[in-house]
Amino acid sequence: MKEISWEKIRKDFAVTEKMAYFQSAGMSPIPRQVYKAIRNAYKTIYESGDIYWHTDLEKAEMLKRRIGRLINTPAHNLAFLPNSSLAFSMIALPMKNKWGQDLNIISMEEEFPATDVPFKYQDIIIQYVSPESGRYPVEKIMEKVDQGTRAVVCSHVQYASGYRQNLEELGKAVKEKGLKFIVNATQGFPFFPIDVKKMNIDAMAISLHKWGLAGHTGSLFFTTDEFRREYPAPLAGWLSVVPEEGEYILTGKEAPLSIQPNAMQYNFGTMNLQNIAGLERAMRYMEKIGFENIRKRILELTNQTVAGLNQIQEMEIHSPRQTPEEQSAILSINLAGKNNQECVTFLENHGVITTIRDQKIRISLNIFNNQEDIDRLVEGIKEFCEQPGTETL
């Protein structure tokens, strides 16, 4: 096997020339190959208008087939939506339409708002599970199930703590109860494997501007055939309905209206096919490196970061780290007796980019990071802690 040059990969990311960037869980910089693909896609519009629109649409379908193989589902179960909030709204609204007030879902206390706000807006009761040392044990989740429970909604990786849920174990328990299993896989895809069949996932959304390395492409939305039959899309547009025979779109005003049976029903209209071209290039970029290699590299960098942070007296690491299976690319830390927000600002002023989540400092590692970045981070936090006047009041 050809040895991977991580320093060569690092040079694909212009951000590394300017700063030590630990904020991929918010939005990852894109490699130059993806930047060129997106630029060339817009250049085509600049020079040729929309004469290649059908070609671009077919390329998007080919990309869905590629991603479908990765997560073990046919392409007809996949759609591209503008964002994950809309994707979860496509779940919440039809569930409310079907069940009315006889409905509640179970979700985790630390979920990112895109996961639970769409359900709350529909006045769906959410039974929240509190974490135990940052974890969500399956048995504790399933204890919440009652007669009105219709689904369990959770993230593969929690956005703030970085805890990685065992989706296969949880999905099995959810299926045994006859419930729907709905997943936000944003903070783990594509390098933490997803098998929607083995994990019994009924619906899933993935924002692609983080670990997808694709910029603001939108969200990949997965649903099973069974899920769509029970909870069809509550909205429709010109691309989401079945056209007249021999036609591409439905133009007859008296023609009967029928929603597409596949995930095309969520394609309400025109989408940003140029950024999807960037996603296609990003997937090829990561496939060449190897998703397993990416996963190993990121976990290795995370362990190196923890080793450096443990040298700091004030350091408290809140991310669960007892087993590799619960770890992710995200670290959540707290500086005992110090002001975390002031530390984030201090680091940023020194070219080290982190952020605050849940009142703690969130650090997220990516394939372009290296030991030099980690050393800058650790030394920056040490320097901050040594300064007078940084204590919390």
Share of the chain above pLDDT 90, in %: 92
Helix (H) or strand (E) holding 93: helix 84-99
> What is the pLDDT, as a whole number, of residue 388?
81
Q: What is the pLDDT of residue 393?
A: 52
- Write down the pLDDT at residue 390: 65
Give the residue numbers spanning the domain of 330: 6-22+290-386
Helix pair angle (291-309, 371-386), 10° resolution: 30
Given this model, what pLDDT does residue 78 score? 98
Sorted by sequence, the CB contacts under 8 Å of residue 167 that are 6+ apart come out as: 156, 183, 194, 199, 201
Q: Do 164 and 80 share a domain, yes or no?
A: yes
Looking at the structure, do residues 332 and 251 belong to the same domain, yes or no?
no
My answer on whether 13 and 78 are in the same domain is no
Indicate if 184 and 296 belong to the same structural domain. Answer: no
pLDDT tens for 126-173 read: 999 999 999 999 999 999 999 999 999 999 999 999 999 999 999 999
Q: Which of 125, 121, 133 is nearest to 150 (CA)?
A: 125
- What is the distance between the alpha carbons of residues 393 and 391, in angstroms, rounded to a whole number? 6
pLDDT at 2: 64
Give me the chain's average pLDDT, please: 95
d(CA 313, CA 332): 16
> Tens digit of pLDDT for each residue in 324-373?
999 999 999 999 999 999 999 999 999 999 999 999 999 999 999 999 99
Residue 1 has pLDDT above 70, yes or no: no
As a whole number of angstroms, the distance between CA 76 and CA 352 comes to 42
Picking from 242, 265, 285, the residue at the C-terminal end of a domain is 285
Residue 179 located in a structural domain: yes
Instruction: Decide if pLDDT at 265 tops 90.
Output: yes
Number of domains in the chain: 2
Rounded to whole angstroms, how far apart are CA atoms 122 and 92? 7
Confidence of residue 256 (pLDDT cuts 50, 70, 90): confident
Same domain, 249 and 358: no
pLDDT at 246: 79
Question: Which of residues 254 and 103 earns the better pLDDT score?
Answer: 103
What's the CATH number where 66 sits? 3.40.640.10
pLDDT computed for residue 167 by the predictor: 98
The verdict on 242 and 323 lying in the same domain is: no
The enclosing domain of 295 has a CATH number of 3.90.1150.10
95 shares a domain with 61: yes
Instruction: Say if residue 293 is exposed, middle or buried (CB neighbours under 10 Å; 0-12, 13-18, 19+).
Output: middle
Whether residue 114 is predicted with pLDDT greater than 60 in this model: the reply is yes
pLDDT-above-70 percentage for the chain = 98
Predicted pLDDT of residue 146: 97
Which of 270, 285, 300 corresponds to the end of one domain?
A: 285
Indicate the residue among 228, 252, 285 that finishes a domain. Answer: 285
Interval 176-208: pLDDT, tens: 999 999 999 999 999 999 999 999 999 999 999
Q: Is residue 30 part of a domain?
A: no
